[in-house]
Amino acid sequence: MPQPYSNVVSYSKTATDDNSFRVVLADVWLREANIHCVTNSSYYGNAQDQSATITAGDIVTFQKFNLGDLYFKNSSAGDNTTIYVVGVTMSKQEIQELIK
């Protein structure tokens, strides 16, 4: 059953160079989210390692995570990827239980 104070949110970001980037710069705790790779394939992972791949046109689903901890990087130099994220935020109670 959904917890109170959840919202549906969406974010997007297009890479402007070949460095790793985050879609959001602050903590955004999501209960569930679909991450869409709209144009040009991308690597994704944490701040130190973006070795997982998402191909243009693919959707990856994540559950119970902080979007601010997820990094992306162009998989091909100069091919600036565009990432869309659509998700449901976690309540304060859900976040506290997750990070215990």
Each domain of the chain, given as residue ranges in start order, spans 8-98
Q: Is 81 helix (H, G, I), strand (E, B) or coil?
A: coil
Query: What is the rounded distance in angstroms from the CA atom of residue 98 to the CA atom of residue 4?
Result: 16
Looking at residue 61, its pLDDT comes to 98
**67, β-bridge pairs:** none
- Give CA torsion, residues 72, 66, 23, 34, to 10 deg: 80
Q: Is 11 helix (H, G, I), strand (E, B) or coil?
A: strand
Q: What's the Rg (C-alpha) of the chain?
A: 14
**More confident: 1 or 15:** 15
Query: What is the CATH architecture assignment of 8-98?
Result: Sandwich (2.60)
pLDDT tens for 20-71 read 999 999 999 999 999 999 999 999 999 999 999 999 999 999 999 999 999 9
pTM confidence score: 0.91
Looking at residue 32, its pLDDT comes to 97
